[in-house]
């Protein structure tokens, strides 16, 4: 959500690298209200319903997230909690890739393993590899742009793996 977010900058690189083979649309999650089961029973908030439909229609999902307090940021967890209540579970069997960038030394490793745990329940097909943990982000991004070629290569590998997983699943179904 941060204007100069390292993670959003990494996502933009993934978008560029995916084209023209694949298109990555950004699903915004900042306007989704805090999960409330009473609210869900009355009427699904529009931004939450939109996210569920976007995931359902996508061939694969790429999550690019910071790590907050050694775990998944509340904004992302809240979005996942909403999606988990959608009647026809959109994450079930869906290829999911995870990327995270942090100025710290572990590059969101702790967040990524907590995120994987959520997807066990949701039965998503989270890619085990590649693991894209972008550490020391302050030295790799400048003016909101990723400048480090090695990191671009890591993101490219993720995009390729996700496209391959989506293709494989498309052929199987
Ligand atoms: C509430 C909060 C908690 C954070 N906790 C962690 C953390 O556990 N591990 C970490 O590496 N960085 C942590 N950070 C620093 C973030 O990695 C840093 O702010 C990063 O730039 C956020 O990602 P963004 O650039 O995409 O906004 C935290 C930052 C905030 C605001």
pLDDT (tens digit, 0 to 9) for every residue of the chain, 173 residues total?
Answer: 999 999 999 999 999 999 999 999 999 999 999 999 999 999 999 999 999 999 999 999 999 999 999 999 999 999 999 999 999 999 999 999 999 999 999 999 999 999 999 999 999 999 999 999 999 999 999 999 999 999 999 999 999 999 999 999 888 88
Q: How far is the CA of 108 from the centre of ligand 1 (A)?
A: 9
> Ligand 1 within 6 A of 2 CB?
yes
CA distances from 132 to 10, 112, 157 (A): 11, 9, 9
> Atom 6 (ligand 1): residue with closest C-alpha?
68
Residue 77, classified by CB atoms within 10 Å of its CB into exposed (0-12), middle (13-18) or buried (19+), is middle
63 Cβ neighbours under 8 A, 6+ residues apart: 76, 96, 97, 98, 99, 115
Q: How far is the CA of 57 from the centre of ligand 1 (A)?
A: 30
Domain range 6-172, CATH architecture: 3-Layer(aba) Sandwich (3.40)
Q: Which 8-state DSSP code applies to residue 137? A: G
* Whether the Cβ atoms of residue 159 and residue 23 lie closer than 8 Å to each other: no
> Ligand 1 within 6 A of 97 CB?
no
> Ligand 1 within 6 A of 7 CB?
yes
> Ligand 1 within 6 A of 6 CB?
yes
Q: How far is the CA of 89 from the centre of ligand 1 (A)?
A: 30
d(CA 7, CA 112): 13
Domain residue limits, the chain: 6-172
pTM: 0.97
d(CA 40, CA 44): 5
Tell me the sheet residues that pair with 147.
none
For the chain, helix (H) and strand (E) counts, in that order, are 6, 6
- At residue 123, φ and ψ (nearest 5 deg) are 60, 35
> Ligand 1 within 6 A of 102 CB?
yes
């Amino acid at each position: 959500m941060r204007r100069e977010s390292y993670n959003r900058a990494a996502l933009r690189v993934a978008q560029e690298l995916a084209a023209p083979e694949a298109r990555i649309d950004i699903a915004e999650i900042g306007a989704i209200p805090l999960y409330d089961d009473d609210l869900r029973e009355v009427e699904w908030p529009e931004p939450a319903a939109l996210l569920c439909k976007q995931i359902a229609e996508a061939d694969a999902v790429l999550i690019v997230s910071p790590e907050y307090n050694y775990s998944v940021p509340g904004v992302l967890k809240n979005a996942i909690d909403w999606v988990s209540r959608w009647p026809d579970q959109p994450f079930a069997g869906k290829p999911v890739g995870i990327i995270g960038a942090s100025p710290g030394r572990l590059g969101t490793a702790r967040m990524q393993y907590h995120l994987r745990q959520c997807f066990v329940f949701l039965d998503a097909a989270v890619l085990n590899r590649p693991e894209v943990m972008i550490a020391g982000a302050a030295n790799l991004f400048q003016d909101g742009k990723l400048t480090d070629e090695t990191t671009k290569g890591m993101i490219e590998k993720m995009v390729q793996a996700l496209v391959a997983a989506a293709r494989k699943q498309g052929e199987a179904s």
